[in-house]
Structure 1
Amino acid sequence: MKKRFVHALLLLMMFSVALAGCGSSSTPAKEESSPATTETKNEEQPKEKVKLSLWHNFTGEDLRAKAMRGIIDQFQKDHANVQLDIQAIPPDGYRQRLKTVAAANELPDVFIMHPGTIAKEFSSAGLVQPLNDLLDSNPAWKDGYLPNSFDDFTFDGKTYSAPMGLSPTSILYYNKTILTENGLTVPKTWDELLNAVKVLKEKNIIPIALGNKAPWLAQSSILSSLADRVTGTEWFDKAVAQDGAKFTDPEFVQALTYLQQLGTTGAFQEGFNAIDTTQMEQLYAQGKAAMIIEGGWAVTNLVATAPKDVLAATGVAVLPSIPNGKGDPNSVSGATGVGPALSSKVEGAKKDIANQLILALAGPEAQKTTLEANQLVSFKVDLDKSKVEPLFADLYSLVNSVKRTPVYDSKLTSAATETVNNGLQELLLGAKPEEIAKKIQDAQEQGLKE
């Protein structure tokens, strides 16, 4: 046995030497790919053409989308050796497209990834690779973030993306002129909201425009904050973990009942499940609706589309408080924004270029550009109010004065997220809250087992 082992070992050593000789006769072995740094120069780029696929969801005409596309265009100009294969996918269908290609293990080289559940599922499946080395090699970038900014992208000590923004999801946008002309003020309590709905409906004004065709909106922008006001964040965290709380508990059923009440009292226009967020924003921009409930990203859209008088009359607030609620009413649901992710298949010279693209999309300069495009960031950048719209300055002040609570789809399993999204469409059309709660509970329970 010992002789045979020694003989096999000698053969293996001879084979290794032969391989090394073959390698030295052509080109030197490639060095381990090193992370990009802010000092990367064009002359350091490899001479051969590098092909890189990029998916993003910056398809609109708002300032933030234009700014991001501008960064990508500039990257292409600065890297003549790089051939980018770009797919720009509208936000409403973006997550599903990603999940579809992920299921086939065909993710693009670099893509915009949502924090929380998707990031966790992609990382645990080995579909994306961590960015720790890239972040560590750029300390001014890594250390420039606000505390806990990487939490929704970090799993088992590895960070898989860097936030490109900060996304409060439940902002109440209201038209001051419409409210004042009808003897109303921005509703701060649930009763005040229901009264505003009644008064506005009598005047044939849509109280709250809703575009829930892509059903994430009711979940992310309304239920996430509304339910937290009823149940409190501690209950939600326990229900997510299925540890001492369930979505069939009375407090969550009550939260669903409050949301359904908005539907039954006519707070939303007819056909709200048949129009998208762009059409919803148009109803508001045209002065046909007094309010909308959407995320902080709506500011850039309104700035791009709303008439000046409507824009000047627009104010921002948190959702109203709930009677006897367990949650903090001075809060808004939110999460760190999306961030660039790197496919686990990318390596070598291609990885070097991909790292440079990620740095261009989310590095310090990109953070400054994003903020000046009326989009909140979780990076330490001073806001120059002279470079942004007054509405964005108001949003900036609001978000920095309230507590942040979880967004449902950033914590629930994918199965439960899909169930709650579809369930809320049914709920607003009259389904029983208890039945919707049971579906969500079953989906979350099953999702944790998979």
Structure 2
Amino acid sequence: MKKSALTIVSLLLVMTMFLAACGGNKPTDGGKASNTPSSTPTETQEPSKEPDPVNLRVFSTFGGTDAAREAFQKALDEFTSANPHVKIENDTMSANDDGFRTKVNTDMTNGNEPDLLFYFIGTDASEIIKSEKVVPLDEVLDADPEWKNGFAPAALEFAKHEDGKTYAIPLTGFFEGLLVNKKIFADNGVELPTDWEKMKAAVSGLKAKGIIPLSGPFDQSHYLLEHFILAAAGSESQNKGLKDAVDPNWAKGLDAMKELYDLGAFPEDAATIDLGMAANYYSEGLAAMVLEGSWAIGGLSDETKANTTVLPFPAVPGGAGTGKDVVGGFGTGFYVSKATYDNAAKKDATIALLKHLTSPATIKNIATANGGTPAAAGVEPEGVTQAVLDGFKMVSEATSVNSPIDSKVTPETFSELRANVQPVVTGKKTGTEAIDAAKKVEDSAK
């Protein structure tokens, strides 16, 4: 392409020089110079027009305490510096905030769509895809092979919607696992929880020393649900969600949560804290374990970060889990709203911004900041901690890598599951009753 453009420019220069030599005061009447102006009027070159100003709004989770907040802002600044006619509103909200999904759905249905939306891949996005609030980007990818081929094939495959189309362009992937403070375990003579019996022994031993064994909230119980159900039900059942017949192993996962609760596993205020506070207990060394994602490692205190390893959650006895089933993948990506795609004044700038934010250089910077798995082929994050490397190793040895449960069931079903965690662990409901209630919600959404 560059060679062709150079050839065209060279031809234009030759033609311009030829016309300059032959035009203007062209000799006439036997070689005498004519003072008569040429019959062809001289064309004046219009100055190149500056691009019209464009205002774009990007809505994402890269704000607040997010480990990649500065790296993401830097990428936006790079784009506006190279494209001064574009102004970007960097609108952010924490993904752990329960209002995040509500804001996205409200904005998308009320005509307040962001031009570029960083959001979950999977069931969470089904409604905005079904209502055609965002556009498939397969043609955009195919039109730019260099950009498309820069992605790891597995990342693009993971990002496909159930209809086989690509609506979200991935940035970084993630892993979730059991973050364990090795020093607390060693100082208290407790073995690492590599199987269920060792997990129970660790809970009992740490509780006796006045240490929170496993930090986690009962309301925002995202990671508790994901890991306990996967550890009991296994990959195949977890990936089916609750669309078909109920697998009794799902209830077994909730009952296992109660088993650890009865041993004193969770913080005394687990009923009132949120995900942020649960992570803070671990970061400050008050808790020995926490179920979290790769993004949380960068926000840990330096001491805790240095002492952290990442393990798969142990299999629940009698279930279908292997003890090496993990949660991970590429669960988020950039969507382009249909309103923006259909807007000639915004479309090109938005697509250009999308390509910049998902370029190998930007992906590397974001992955280095948040410890995520790069969606770009051949890109390796720099300076990641040993905990992140342990997480990568965990994934490489996994018997299965599974997207989170909230991408397999409707938001209403997941809310029902969350609402039943506290009743189950406190003995007010059985695991079976909780799963049956969630199944009814799932069926009503069909």
CA contact 1:334–1:405 (8 Å) conserved in 2: yes
Q: Which amino acid aligns with 2:304?
A: V
Q: Which amino acid aligns with 1:414?
A: P
SS of equivalent residue, structure 1 residue 315 = strand
Q: Which amino acid aligns with 1:283?
A: Y
CA contact 2:134–2:167 (8 Å) conserved in 1: yes
The residue aligned with 1:95 is: 101
CA contact 2:63–2:92 (8 Å) conserved in 1: yes
Q: 2:337 matched to 1:331?
A: no
CA contact 2:195–2:323 (8 Å) conserved in 1: no
Q: How far apart, CA to CA, are the structure 2 residues paired with 1:155 and 1:197? A: 40
Q: How far apart, CA to CA, are the structure 2 residues paired with 1:132 and 1:56? A: 22
Shift of the 148–378 alpha-carbon distance from structure 1 to 2, 3 Å rule, reads closer
The residue aligned with 2:250 is: 252
CA contact 1:75–1:360 (8 Å) conserved in 2: yes
Q: Which amino acid aligns with 1:92?
A: N
The residue aligned with 1:84 is: 88
The residue aligned with 2:140 is: 134
CA contact 2:61–2:92 (8 Å) conserved in 1: yes
Q: How far apart, CA to CA, are the structure 2 residues paired with 1:431 and 1:142? A: 52
5+ long unaligned stretches in structure 2:
1-46
The residue aligned with 2:116 is: 110
C-alpha displacement of 1:280: 1.9
SS of equivalent residue, structure 1 residue 261 = helix
Shift of the 369–381 alpha-carbon distance from structure 1 to 2, 3 Å rule, reads farther
CA contact 2:159–2:169 (8 Å) conserved in 1: no
Aligned residues: 392
Name which of structure 1's ranges 111-120 and 372-381 shifts more when overlaid on structure 2.
Answer: 372-381
Q: How far apart, CA to CA, are the structure 2 residues paired with 1:279 and 1:429? A: 21
Q: 2:347 matched to 1:345?
A: no
Instruction: Choose which of 199, 207, 211 in structure 1 pairs with 2:205.
Output: 199
Q: How far apart, CA to CA, are the structure 1 residues paired with 2:257 and 2:146? A: 44
The residue aligned with 2:9 is: none
* Superposition TM-score, scaled by structure 1 size: 0.81
Aligned pairs for 1:418-429 (under 5 A) are 418-429=415-426
CA contact 2:51–2:85 (8 Å) conserved in 1: yes
CA contact 2:367–2:381 (8 Å) conserved in 1: no
Q: How far apart, CA to CA, are the structure 2 residues paired with 1:51 and 1:397? A: 43
Identity rate, percent: 27
Shift of the 186–152 alpha-carbon distance from structure 1 to 2, 3 Å rule, reads same
Shift of the 46–326 alpha-carbon distance from structure 1 to 2, 3 Å rule, reads farther
The residue aligned with 1:7 is: none
Shift of the 329–434 alpha-carbon distance from structure 1 to 2, 3 Å rule, reads same
The residue aligned with 1:318 is: 312
Q: Deviations over 1:361-411 (max 9, x none)?
A: 2222222112222222233234365x2222222222222221202311011
The residue aligned with 1:367 is: 363
Q: How far apart, CA to CA, are the structure 1 residues paired with 2:49 and 2:345? A: 9
Instruction: Choose which of 163, 169, 175 in structure 1 pairs with 2:170.
Output: 163
The residue aligned with 2:64 is: 60
The residue aligned with 2:43 is: none
C-alpha displacement of 1:262: 2.3
C-alpha displacement of 1:279: 2.0
The residue aligned with 1:226 is: 228
Q: Deviations over 1:223-258 (max 9, x none)?
A: 22322232223233445332xx22xx4322212111
CA contact 1:339–1:362 (8 Å) conserved in 2: no
Larger relative contact order, structure 1 or 2 (CA cutoff 8 Å, min sep 6): 1
Instruction: Choose which of 178, 185, 202 in structure 1 pairs with 2:184.
Output: 178
C-alpha displacement of 1:330: 1.1
Q: How far apart, CA to CA, are the structure 2 residues paired with 1:76 and 1:44? A: 20
Q: How far apart, CA to CA, are the structure 1 residues paired with 2:293 and 2:48? A: 41
* Superposition TM-score, scaled by structure 2 size: 0.82
SS of equivalent residue, structure 1 residue 112 = strand
C-alpha displacement of 1:202: 0.7
Pick the structure with greater CA Rg: 2
Aligned pairs for 1:401-416 (under 5 A) are 401-402=397-398, 403-416=400-413
The residue aligned with 2:260 is: 262
5+ long unaligned stretches in structure 1:
1-42
CA contact 1:46–1:349 (8 Å) conserved in 2: no
Q: 2:284 matched to 1:286?
A: yes
CA contact 1:209–1:283 (8 Å) conserved in 2: yes
Name which of structure 1's ranges 409-418 and 85-94 shifts more when overlaid on structure 2.
Answer: 85-94
Q: 2:382 matched to 1:376?
A: no
Give the root-mean-square deviation of aligned CA atoms.
2.3
Q: Which amino acid aligns with 1:235?
A: S
SS of equivalent residue, structure 2 residue 91 = strand
Name which of structure 1's ranges 405-414 and 195-204 shifts more when overlaid on structure 2.
Answer: 405-414
SS of equivalent residue, structure 1 residue 92 = coil
C-alpha displacement of 1:312: 1.7
Instruction: Choose which of 235, 239, 242 in structure 2 pairs with 1:240.
Output: 242
C-alpha displacement of 1:62: 4.7
Q: How far apart, CA to CA, are the structure 2 residues paired with 1:266 and 1:162? A: 42
Q: Deviations over 1:208-230 (max 9, x none)?
A: 112455x2xx23x2322322232
Shift of the 279–363 alpha-carbon distance from structure 1 to 2, 3 Å rule, reads same
Q: How far apart, CA to CA, are the structure 1 residues paired with 2:49 and 2:64? A: 32
